[in-house]
A = this chain, B = another copy of it.
Amino acid sequence: MRLIDHHCHGAVTGPLDRAAFEALLTESDRPPPPGCSGFDSQLGFAVRRWCAPVLGLEAHCDPGDYLDRRAELGPDEVNRRLLRAAEVEVFLVDSGYRAGELLDGPAMAAAAAAEVREIVRLEAVAEALDGVSAAGFADAFDRVLDDAAAGAAGFKSVVAYRQGLDFDPHPPTRREVTRAAGRWLRRGRPRLDDPVLLRHLIWTAVDRGGPVQFHTGFGDPDLDLARGDPLLMTSFLRATRDRGAAVLLLHCYPFHRQAGYLAQAFPHVYLDVGLALNHVGARAPAVLAESLELAPFHKVLYSSDAFGPAELHHLGAVLFRQAFGEVAGQWSKGDAERVAELIGSGNARRVYRL
């Protein structure tokens, strides 16, 4: 099953001790309770089950042994082994978050022996604007986005984190943008969380024809998950449905059935259950099956949302292939093969024009 991972981050460049590795296996920003192990989760079990053999260990090996072996091989070899064994043809990489710790595009491509294309994180581009005035914000953003988007495959919004998916569905006026930019500049350009500017970024990407990815569903504790339900975007989806820009709902869990409805109801809406499949480990078939209830099969994509350990890029692919095999077992062989092609890579190729 050919795979395009349509949303992930880079693999981590440096070595990871046990605390650092465990910290990257959870969305929490705190360590586990004293005496408890970050490996005691579906994701931790899945790493020991599926990644250990790729590093030459027995499945289910002890976490200590796993990390010893990891250190022994070194980050480059670990990345190379896990990324290549994922057998992913193209990675679409959002490098707008903690890029300094992660392989950049060319390094990722070399390690994985795969193609790498960029996803432009809208908020990161705006936050990097330099020497801009309130009145000049919109034009400056447009210019910088031109550069950033050259060669990129699409855009991404993290409005779910910054405000919530219940954002005002309509584009702000030029005047509102100028005023909001003024406020933001006077506040000393903090993390961009102004509702008007966030909407301006999104509509700029829509006006360029997208595709635009949205973080939806669970994530780290910065998030208010109740405001991460993609149904909160319904009016926005209605407002954009004839604009020609595809909207891709990422992760979605535990609202993936709701996302499936949106993917059926609106012609430009797509979804994946990336991130979720890794975290739920052995439960991946159940979650993938739910995401494929209402969503038409030309509206679902594969992603890992891996960030950091190449285990996550690897597991995403392993768990997805297994889960898909179980779900597709209910269909005829011909149907299963055709849907595998669509969801594994064909839909991504079409949406991102790869």
Contact residues in B for A118 (Cβ distance below 8 Å): none
B residues in contact with A264, CB < 8 Å: 26-28, 41, 279
> What chain B residues lie within 8 Å of A257 (beta carbons)?
253-254
Contact residue among B40, B258, B283 (Cβ-Cβ distance under 8 Å from A298)? B40
> When A220-B265, A279-B294 are in contact, do A342 and B40 touch as well, CB less than 8 Å?
yes
Contact between B282 and A331, CB atoms less than 8 A apart: yes
Which residues 224-238 in A have Cβ within 8 Å of B in the complex? Answer: 224-226, 229, 231-232, 234-235, 238
Question: So how many copies of this chain end up in the complex?
Answer: 3
The answer to whether the Cβ of A334 comes within 8 Å of any Cβ in the partner chain is yes
Shortest Cβ gap from A93 to chain B (Å): 25
Are A265 and B42 closer than 8 Å at their CB atoms?
Answer: no
Interface string of A25-42 (1 = CB under 8 A from B): 011101111011110111
With A and B bound together, what is the CA distance between A226 and B254 in angstroms? 14
Question: Which 6 pairs from chain A and chain B are nearest by CB?
Answer: A254-B257, A36-B298, A30-B267, A282-B330, A221-B265, A226-B231
Least Cβ distance of A177 to chain B in Å? Answer: 27
* Proximity string of chain A (8-44) to chain B, C-beta cutoff 8 Å, 1 when within and 0 when not: 0000000000000000001110111101111011100
Q: Interface centre among A225, A254, A279, A280, by most B CB within 10 Å?
A: A254
| Given A293-B283, A294-B279, also A335-B60 (CB < 8 A) | yes
A226–B229 touching, CB < 8 Å: yes
By a CB distance below 8 angstroms, the chain B residues around A41 are 264, 295-297
A286 at the interface (CB under 8 A from B): yes
Known contacts A26-B264, A221-B265, A342-B40; A45/B254 CB under 8 A: no
